[in-house]
A and B are shown apart, each in its own frame.
Chain A
Amino acid sequence: MSTMKSAPPSSKGKGEYRVIGTRPIRHDGVDKVTGRALYGADLQLTGLLHGRVLRSPHAHARIRSIDIQKALQLPGVKAVVTAADFPPAGDKVEDLGEGTVKLRDLCGNILAGEKALYRGHAVAGVAATSPHIAAQALGLISVDYEPLPPVLDVRKAMSPEAPLLHDDLFTDDLGEQASSPSNIAKHLRHEKGDVGEGFKKADKIFEREFETAMVHQGYIEPHNATAHWNADGNLTIWTSTQGAFTVRTQVATILQLPISRVKVIPMEIGGGFGGKIPVYLEPVAAVLSRKTGRPVKMLMDRTEVFEGTGPTPGSYVKIKMGALKSGRIVAAEAYLAYEAGAFAGSPFFCGMMCIVAPYDIENILIDGYDVVVNKPKTAAYRAPCATSAALASETLIDEIAEWAGQDPLSIRQLNGAKEGTRRADGLAYSRIGFLETLDAAQAHPHYKEPLKGPYRGRGVASGFWFNCGLRSSVTASVNPDGTVSMIEGSPDIGGTRTSIAMQLAEVLGIAAEDVRPQVGDTDSVGYTDVTGGSRVTFATGYAAIQAARDVEQNMKQRAATLWEVAPDQVQVSEGVYRNGKNSLTFKELAAKLNDCGGPVSGQATVNADECGVGGGFATHIVDLEVDPDTGKVTILRYTAVQDVGKAIHPSYVEGQIQGGATQGIGWALNEEYYYDEKGRMANSSFLDYRMPTALDLPMIDTVLVEVPAPGHPFGVRGVGEVPIVPPPAAIANAIYRAIGVRLHRLPMNPGRVLAAILGR
């Protein structure tokens, strides 16, 4: 594995690259605008059976028995599976590449064993000759449930009186195991300085509580999986996933197969945002295929996606800050409790690490809790847990700015983190661009132009996300016509085939169009972690750079052979190979390869964590108007400023920022899992789970600040996640300016805003 010891960022600035910073048309574009691109649900195979999943109608219930006989007798039904058909799970903890999970929990979430732990929890799977027959068969499976009282609220779940989800879950309290079971899975703490002393120094102390509802990633493509368990014992899975290799790991682990027996073919994926990292249908389809000897395709409907997959945790956050009259923040204390859902393991610690990360504060104490409740097991969602954390810190800082008589951007300038600043978790920042985003926001026409009119307000907020590195692989083969075929391991959810190919092209001095990128399956490309953590253009792009350097070395060899000189006597610049009077372009040399040693290919697998990943910062500005009679909020204008390190394909960087900001706006204003008292989600459709439509938004202006990340040859930083962090806080701050009341609970829907206006 080639590791990169922080290669210095390229000194090249704007315009000095030939490919990077341009906006070529994506290589997979035509297939996607003509409907030819094949997503998981589009797969057709001969002898294909169709599977459906039976789900628990109860939020919490003991499963006394399951009778599948009637279902098996329905003509067209070929097999039914329950948890009993799966190998028993031990206490093993599985590393899924991005995060870890207890195997028992992993299996327990695929098909419920003794207990159904949330409404929508999968209980059985059916394979039949048509989807309609499979759906009818679900109605013929009779499950004997003993309903148990559910607990849905994170704080209620923490109380000793709360119903227990797992009698074998003992709190890991700062490394010590508690003596009696509880719904609190884990307690972590970050400490810096001495908050007690810090608060003593403060001229004023501010303290507020915040709540956020569980929300879903909302990708438009429902989950899908097709499995074929061949007679030779090899299992092939076609699925729309953020990571073919993590699907392979999970499936092999759950079914207790050697990893080499499982091949995962990533189909095109219709959005993920973190939600398509865990497996749900894949193992069920696999076992159904083993039972029937035929390929089995399973699709979720939208309600199943809401009730049976992994949304992001609801949260309770209490935050306290001490400030000097100058606006300098001298101490911060935070208590964060996140809903893990039915099984432990929410990314709650990410919220802990982000909550005051943009600021240089001397004394910090942060406590975080991972709490199980009778809701779907949560998954990652775009900067997991950071948005609800930032709602608290960025709203409180707005309050402090007002008290200190300071402009909201200036107070962030005054307290802002820079290179060398140490976070609460102890890490010191390398070169970061937070202050630069504040400068750019301050200078933006949006911020300069006064906002006029009644019930209108402007808010700002900032956000931080680490960005991940992880492992990626790329293989590049030179074709005789001078093009390069590139196989990479990162499923392409937003144009990354192209942003990776552009980096390969930049190094080789060829055009982006001359690279033929392809996403490989688990048997055709080296190990690659998930498309997530804002890592692909950074990490898989780095692998492409390394692979290109490998190709370039081989090409030099070939040129040297051709010219009968030593390889080190061949110079290469911008794709032209030279020795004395001899010179060949990459294309020309490619055409001669068979005369001087044969075809050339290059390969690289990198562990991008080892280069020091560049963290991402964003500052957003929003103007909005509140209807005082109805409480409805209209977004008038939105500007998102972000340090992107180096924008490889600026259009797709802008797109990530616009999309992230829009998801944050939806989260702020309307999106939520709405539960009745029995723990049933009442709004599990796109009609009542209200994601923003085109009519709910203005254009989203973006400003790309480029402070190169030290760890990447081109200075790339992850850009996908941080834009979802500031919006709810920025909107809460703007609503305060508009109506004079601060809201501390998401969503800030019309009913809540109206209640605030009417003082209810």
Chain B
Amino acid sequence: MAKNTQLSFVLNGEEVQLLCEPRHSLLEVLRDILGLTGSKEGCNNGNCGACNVILDGKVVNSCCVFGLEVQDREVTTIEGVATNGELHPLQQKFLEHAALQCGICTPGFIVAAKALLESNPRPTEADARLWLAGNLCRCTGYDKIIRAVLDAAAVTSGEVTPVEVTAGGRK
């Protein structure tokens, strides 16, 4: 049997301590050991973004990080995006814009979009499409997701109107 190793890190603002195997990915640590199943496995090789978490302020694929790599570091998962029972504006806008259908990719999109708005409070449609290119959605065609993100950016940046989207297509 694999020998377990102690791991401690800050998860959604609280310190956690646990035992995991060296081969466990951060995604396995979150889902299978800590029971935080909001981060999803879609491909397990860094190509779909469903397992996105924020690690020390940067969005990463938790399937491509070993659990032991996050020793003493800070991790934010989808479970930590809403605070004190208040939905984050991104979560609210995803609902208002019907930016999810099956919902399996939604946590990854919201985590990635949160990181986007933290690094670029007023992204253009092009910015948002580039930033979210590492997140696959098979249901929506991305249209409503992009609108939701730009609309949320308007709220978080305190602007009134969302960034113009290129309705009528690329010129």
Contact = CB atoms under 8 A, between A and B. Distances in A.
**Chain A in direct contact with chain B (Cβ < 8 angstroms):** yes
Interface of A: 23, 25-26, 28-30, 32-39, 41-42, 44, 75-76, 132, 217-222, 268-273, 299, 301-302, 445-446, 449, 493-495, 623, 634, 636-638, 649, 651-652, 654-656, 658-659, 661-663, 685-687, 691-695, 697-701
Contacts of B103: 28, 32-33, 37, 268, 270
B8 interface: no
B16 interface: no
A699 B143 contact: yes
Contacts of A28: 103
Given A38-B37, A41-B37, A659 B140 contact: yes
Given A33-B94, A655-B144, A301 B138 contact: no
B50 to A, nearest CB: 6
A447 to B, nearest CB: 12
B35 to A, nearest CB: 6
Nearest to A653: B98
Given A32-B106, A33-B94, A34-B82, 15 more contacts: A33-B91, A76-B1, A217-B138, A221-B42, A271-B138, A299-B41, A495-B98, A651-B98, A652-B101, A654-B143, A654-B144, A655-B101, A658-B143, A686-B45, A694-B129
A697 B140 CA distance: 12
A692 B94 CA distance: 20
B47 interface: yes
Contacts of B136: 220, 686, 691, 693
B135 interface: yes
B169 A220 contact: no
Contact of A658 (B78, B82, B140, B166): B140
B74 interface: no
Contacts of B97: 651
B154 to A, nearest CB: 17
B28 to A, nearest CB: 8
Interface residues of B, number: 66
Interface in B97-141: 97-98, 100-107, 110, 128-130, 132-141
Which residue, of A35, A270, A301, A655, has the highest number of chain B Cβ atoms within 10 A? A35
Contact of B142 (A30, A686, A697): A697
A621 B120 CA distance: 34
Interface string B143-164: 1111000000000000000000
B15 interface: no
A697 B107 contact: no
Contacts of A36: 38, 79
15 contacts: A32-B100, A32-B106, A35-B38, A217-B138, A220-B48, A220-B138, A222-B42, A269-B102, A271-B139, A273-B138, A651-B97, A655-B141, A686-B45, A686-B48, A697-B143
Given A35-B37, A39-B40, A495-B98, A271 B104 contact: yes
A695 B133 CA distance: 6
B18 interface: no
Interface string B42-86: 111101101000000000000000000000000001110110000
Contacts of B143: 654, 658, 697, 699-700
Contacts of B128: 694
Contact of B98 (A23, A42, A634): A23
Given A44-B35, A218-B138, A39 B104 contact: yes
B19 interface: no
Nearest to A665: B141
Contacts of B31: 41-42
Given A42-B37, A270-B104, A697-B141, A636 B170 contact: yes
Interface residues of chain B: helix, strand, loop or mixed (majority): loop
Which residue, of B50, B107, B128, has the highest number of chain A Cβ atoms within 10 A? B107
B117 to A, nearest CB: 15
B79 A35 contact: yes
Contact of B104 (A33, A221, A301, A658): A221
A35 B39 contact: yes
Nearest to B132: A694
B133 A34 contact: no
A268 B87 CA distance: 21
A23 B134 CA distance: 29
B26 to A, nearest CB: 15
Nearest to A702: B143
A691 B141 CA distance: 11
A654 B99 CA distance: 11
A217 to B, nearest CB: 8
B47 A687 contact: yes
Listed from nearest, the 10 A-B pairs whose CB atoms lie closest are: A35-B38, A637-B169, A270-B104, A662-B141, A658-B141, A651-B98, A32-B103, A35-B78, A42-B37, A494-B101
Nearest to B147: A699
A686 B47 contact: yes
A271 B94 CA distance: 18
B80 to A, nearest CB: 9
A694 B135 contact: yes
Given A35-B78, A220-B104, A693-B133, A662 B142 contact: yes
B170 A698 contact: yes
B130 A695 contact: yes
Contact of A33 (B45, B48, B95, B141): B95
Given A75-B1, A76-B1, A685-B47, A30 B95 contact: yes
Nearest to A623: B169
A701 B141 CA distance: 11
A693 B112 CA distance: 14
A450 to B, nearest CB: 13
B2 A132 contact: yes
Which residue, of A41, A655, A699, has the highest number of chain B Cβ atoms within 10 A? A699
Contact of A652 (B47, B98, B129): B98
A694 B146 CA distance: 8
A691 B138 contact: yes
Contacts of B41: 41, 222, 299
B95 A25 contact: yes
Given A132-B2, A687-B45, A494 B139 contact: yes
B44 to A, nearest CB: 6
Nearest to A301: B44
Contacts of B48: 220, 686
A700 B129 CA distance: 14
Contacts of A693: 132-136, 142
Given A33-B94, A663-B138, A271 B102 contact: yes
Contacts of B38: 34-36
Contacts of A30: 87, 91, 95
Contact of B101 (A41, A42, A659): A659
A571 B80 CA distance: 51
B102 A270 contact: yes
A694 B142 contact: yes
A221 B40 contact: yes
